[in-house]
A = this chain, B = another copy of it.
Amino acid sequence: MPKESAKVTPWEVSGRVDYERLIKQFGVSRLDDKIIEKIGKHAKEVHFMIKRKIFFAHRDLKWLFDEYEKGNKFFLYTGRGPSGKVHLGHLGTWILTKWLQDRFNAELWFQFTDDEKFLFNDKPYEEIQRWTYENMLDVIALGFDQKKTHFIIDTKHANLLYPEAIRFAKKISFSTVKAAFGFTNDRNIGEIFYTSMQAVPAIIPSVLRKRNIPCLIPLAIDQDPHFRVARDVYPKLGYYKPAIIHGRFLPPLQGIDGKMSSSEELTAIYTTDSPKEVERKIKKYAFSGGQATIEEHRKKGGNPDIDVSFQYLRMFFEPDDRKLEQIYNDYKSGKMLTSELKEILVGKINSFLKEHQKKREKARKQVDKFLFKS
């Protein structure tokens, strides 16, 4: 697998992602034991996605907690590009965000970048608007605190965002976005401008309250280039640089390269999939680290490290370390068959989705309350 072929931009992730390499390439810091300890000290526990380094890198977390210790509390900012259905790969960041909200009693600004998805895709504006609504339901279903959570939609909250975005834009040249995102001259001028809209929510509470408030952004590592570009601008405008915690990608069903993708139906499990669809997708498509025959599997054992079902358990569906270790050992030894491993996963996903889909329906009545009103 040539590592050179891996591509990680906000709009494309392909190939086997080398996370160690990304740490160097993006200039982020490894989430080491010292910083995890600091999180644990204040959160009173450590989320398994952090413990297992599913969130593996960061920017300025030490500074963020130093400020926190001085009584300078942070708010959270994350988002969603609403171009299609939400799948399991999207949820990890938001689940961690909810945990952070609960543990730190933090306000959350959640941005729906409908402009981005309109500008970077072939889809019509109206379709993006429908996805924005549908995606909001998934976010609400995760249980964010309605009193502390503000949804902003780029085109609906342009009065709030655009006047700030031009302050960022003024300090970012085409050369800079060209280098950061690999843009060529045939890119449309909305794509070129867009990164300044994504920079803004990290200062919105500071703008509204007229004081500088620290910000923590949980995101998947592919979104980091936006903040690499905007990072130097924040202090020039009189604001803190936001701290960031970076997550890995949930792999697609077909194997551990790239990431689960909304636009490729068969790589993903959607939050709206039925129990039957989930079962079919996992059984039919989830890449297996097992052997070709039961006999061989019993003898040689499976490889959980490349087994997509096991990875879903590790990254998302089995928070219990001891249970996970048991599955790992049983699968590796050949005691557990691929079919049994998949059975466990299907059960976990379907019980999660049953609950999620119920909450998702209830969310239809809550959307308006989550939308920020200026």
Chain A residues at the B interface, C-beta cutoff of 8 Å? 115, 118-119, 125, 154-159, 161-163, 165-167, 169-175, 177-178, 183, 185-193, 195-196
Contact = CB atoms under 8 A, between A and B. Distances in A.
A281 to B, nearest CB: 34
27 contacts: A115-B162, A115-B163, A118-B166, A154-B162, A155-B159, A155-B163, A155-B166, A156-B159, A158-B158, A158-B161, A158-B162, A158-B163, A162-B162, A169-B191, A170-B190, A171-B188, A173-B186, A173-B187, A173-B188, A174-B185, A174-B186, A175-B185, A175-B186, A178-B185, A189-B192, A189-B196, A190-B193
A183 to B, nearest CB: 8
Given A158-B163, A169-B190, 8 more contacts: A155-B162, A162-B162, A166-B190, A169-B189, A173-B188, A174-B183, A174-B192, A193-B193
B196 A166 contact: no
A175 B190 CA distance: 13
Nearest to A190: B169
A11 to B, nearest CB: 15
Contacts of A196: 189-190
Nearest to A178: B185
A373 to B, nearest CB: 13
Contacts of A195: 189
Contacts of A166: 115, 118-119, 155, 190
Name the 3 nearest CB pairs between A and B, nearest first. A169-B190, A193-B193, A158-B162
Contacts of A171: 188
A126 B226 CA distance: 27
Contacts of A167: 118, 125
A157 B163 CA distance: 10
A177 B187 CA distance: 11
Interface centre among A154, A155, A166 (most CB of B within 10 A): A166
Contacts of A156: 159
A279 B344 CA distance: 91
A167 to B, nearest CB: 7
A46 to B, nearest CB: 39
Contacts of A161: 158
Contacts of A170: 118-119, 188, 190
Nearest to A125: B167
A87 to B, nearest CB: 26
Contacts of A185: 173-175, 178
A52 to B, nearest CB: 38
Nearest to A187: B174
Nearest to A196: B189
Nearest to A163: B155
Contacts of A119: 166, 169-170
Contacts of A163: 115, 125, 155, 158
A185 B155 CA distance: 27
A165 B191 CA distance: 12
Contacts of A190: 165-166, 169-170, 193, 196
A190 B174 CA distance: 9
Contacts of A155: 159, 162-163, 166
A195 to B, nearest CB: 7
A181 B41 CA distance: 56
A155 B157 CA distance: 12
A133 to B, nearest CB: 15
Contacts of A192: 174, 189, 192-193
